[in-house]
Amino acid sequence: MKKVFQILLAIVVVALGYLLIESIMEPIRFDKEKDKRFKATIERLQNVRTAELAYKSQYGKFTGNFDTLISFLKNGKIKVVKQVGSEDDSVAVAKGLVFRDTISIFVRDTILKNYAVDSLRFVPFTHGDKFEMAAGELVTESKIKVKVFECKAPYEVILKDMDKQEIINMKDLAKKLNKYPGLKVGSLTEATNNAGNWE
């Protein structure tokens, strides 16, 4: 009987040890996966911002439509100022051989070169969930009209299929801090200079 008790006790100790290690490792694994997903999402949002800024440089406004943005990246052109000659060459400057010329080049040859632009609308690691995107105009306190855009994804989309309680805790913290419960770039309600909420 004593031997059976010792075996049962050993099994209980091993099980408790396993549960203790799991309770320590679970948040560590969550943070590691969260960091990986945040990094990929931030990179995608930065690419959206780059594309939006190029679009605005051409059309004077942002777009709230991924189809329009992706079509612009594939087929659009932007104006670039090209300098012919060097301003450091005083002889060339004196002869009028140094000048600037504005040319149009395809967007695909300048920004996000060799990037799969069709993936721009999708939140990484979600197998098809899309970013929410909108564009508009707001008036600042000093009565200046500012073109704005916003692209975002909430925590429950970015961290899809991960620990629900951890996601609820993150959303609660964001709510207490009066912040968006997810990752976003730009804002429709304030002039943020197109900053991301992670910056």
> Using one digit for the tens of pLDDT, what is the confidence trace for 50-82?
999 999 988 999 999 999 999 999 988 877 777
Asked if residue 192 belongs to a domain, the reply is no
pTM, to two decimals: 0.78
Asked if residue 181 belongs to a domain, the reply is yes
Could you tell me the two tokens for 28?
């560590």
pLDDT at site 81: 73
Asked if residue 85 belongs to a domain, the reply is no
pLDDT at site 17: 63
Asked if residue 87 belongs to a domain, the reply is no
Asked if residue 127 belongs to a domain, the reply is yes
Asked if residue 22 belongs to a domain, the reply is no
Dist. CA 182–CA 171, nearest whole Å: 8
Asked if residue 193 belongs to a domain, the reply is no
pLDDT at site 99: 67
Rounded to the nearest integer, the mean pLDDT of the chain is 85
Residues of the chain with pLDDT below 50 are none
Look at the chain and report how many structural domains it folds into.
1
Asked if residue 97 belongs to a domain, the reply is no
Strand partners, 137: 147
> Considering Cα of 69, then 73, then 79, then 80, what sign does the dihedral take?
positive
Structural domain including 63 reads 37-73+117-186
